[in-house]
Amino acid sequence: MTRHPIILAHGGAGTRPMTGDQRECLANALQTGYQALKRGASALDAVEATIRALEASGLFNAGIGSKLQLDGARRMDASIMEGRRLRAGAVASIQGISHPITAARLVMEETAHVLLVGEPATRFARRFKLKRQPPPTHAQRAASRVEHKSLGQLELQAAKTLELFSTLKHAEVFGRETVGAVALDKSGHIAAGASTGGIALMLPGRVGDTPLIGCGVYADDEAGAVSMTGLGESIIRIAVAKEIADRLEAGTSPSAAVRTVLRKLMSRVKGSAGALVLAPDGRWAIRHTTPRMTAGYWGGTGEPVVKDRFA
């Protein structure tokens, strides 16, 4: 059965208003993804292309725009999954490349694994000659130190970081613009992906929900596609993406499924998040518990819709 293609994308959930540049970039990324779908490309291709556009912009906390961690390094996570055969690939704490989402797809397609981490993931990406990004400049490292100092972190040791992190308000952690996308192609297949540079005050070695299949991302042609953004520690504890997908498979609508699971996230672990949810029949929902979520959708009619608040 031929489906009418659709793509959804997000630029993170948090407290900061979307900028004009981010709005334009997200609209252009949606157009890139949809045009691929219109030409007959797979949902997987469209998700990768959309996220690559966001990673390359420098406007979001992903790819070349990724924030620095407390030690001044830029470590990134990404994952991608397709719903027909449930194939998935992911990387965590990868450094020095412009497009972690493409590295994640290579893990899926060129290895027998799902997740590669750290320096071996970086070496793997370099083997395939992925575009590199330059190392952080002295000015960027200095700016990172100023940012951490503004939260009282300039000289903080690891134990103190953990203690403070547990007491931070969400407003101090969010606003870090993870990116993601979900898509439905003409063949009725779906895919999901996400890419991030993490959150504020990250200890080196910290991994959030983005590269964990079933937490930050999930896709199943018999259920739906989900891409998450928010405080990863809480998303991991609920395995949010898989729980939403399971409710979709049981017949719950995207809106009802995401509302129920996000309420559980808040009540059980005091978490905050936003989600893109897409059912195999084309129904979709964008929901968030944070004050804002930069996100949008397009099905080829009119112009892409991009906002930073969704009901």
Residue positions counted in the chain: 311
Show the domain range for 249.
6-307
> What is residue 144's predicted lDDT score, i.e. its pLDDT?
54
Say if 189 falls within a structural domain: yes
Say if 46 falls within a structural domain: yes
Say if 1 falls within a structural domain: no
Closest residue by Cα to residue 68 from 150, 142, 10: 142
Say if 53 falls within a structural domain: yes
Whether the model pTM is above 0.95: no
- Number of domains, the chain: 1
What CATH number has the domain bearing residue 189?
A: 3.60.20.30
Among candidate residues 178, 210, 252, 290, the one labeled active-site is 178
* φ, ψ of residue 58 in degrees (nearest 5): 75, 5
> What is residue 239's predicted lDDT score, i.e. its pLDDT?
98
Say if 112 falls within a structural domain: yes
> What is residue 134's predicted lDDT score, i.e. its pLDDT?
73
Q: Is 62 in contact with 25 (CB distance < 8 Å)?
A: no
Say if 224 falls within a structural domain: yes
| Whole-angstrom distance, CA of residue 269 vs CA of residue 34 | 36
- Assess whether 15 carries a catalytic annotation: no
Q: Each residue of 110-141: b (16+ CB within 10 Å) or e?
A: eeeebbbbeeebbebbeeeebeebeebeeeeb
Q: Per residue of the chain (311 residues), give pLDDT as tens.
A: 678 999 999 999 999 899 999 999 999 999 999 999 999 999 999 999 999 999 999 999 999 999 888 888 889 999 999 999 999 999 999 999 999 999 999 999 999 999 999 999 999 999 998 888 877 665 555 555 545 454 444 344 444 444 544 444 444 444 457 999 999 999 999 999 999 998 766 788 889 999 999 999 999 999 999 999 999 999 999 999 999 999 999 999 999 999 999 999 999 999 999 999 999 999 999 999 999 999 999 999 999 999 999 97
In which residue are the tokens 């080196």 written?
204
Say if 74 falls within a structural domain: yes
